[in-house]
Amino acid sequence: MTSHIQSPCTCKSLGHLKPGEAAYITSLARLSSAVSHRLLDLGVTIGTLVKVKRCSLLGGPLMLEANGQLFGLRKVEATLIEVDVC
């Protein structure tokens, strides 16, 4: 008999999180190089804890917090970032 151990974390995209939720970034591979470099300039890398502060209506930008700083990201780009929600 094998036991299936489930991780307490679940994989999602950053664009699907709701305000107040936080997650660790697991992949930035699907982003364009320009957006990826900008996030790296802000210190947002794989393993960074990101919290969703606000979501704009009608698919507008998200307000995110990482490393003690706030920044905006288009929802389309946020859906390309894979995260683990804990």
> Could you state, in order of their start, the residue ranges of all structural domains in the chain?
10-85
Q: Can you tell me the mean pLDDT for 45-68?
A: 94
Please say if the pLDDT value at position 13 is more than 90. yes
Closest C-alpha to 73, from 60, 85, 57, 86: 60
Cα–Cα distances in angstroms (integers) from residue 65 to residues 7, 20, 82, 85, in the given order:
25, 10, 16, 15
Q: Can you tell me the mean pLDDT for 9-28?
A: 92
Cβ pair 39, 27 in contact under 8 A: no
Phi, psi of 71, rounded to the nearest 5 degrees: -155, 160
| pTM attached to this predicted model | 0.84
CATH topology assigned to domain 10-85: SH3 type barrels. (2.30.30)
Give dist(CA 20, CA 79) in Å, integer.
17
For residue 19, give both structure tokens.
Answer: 């305000």
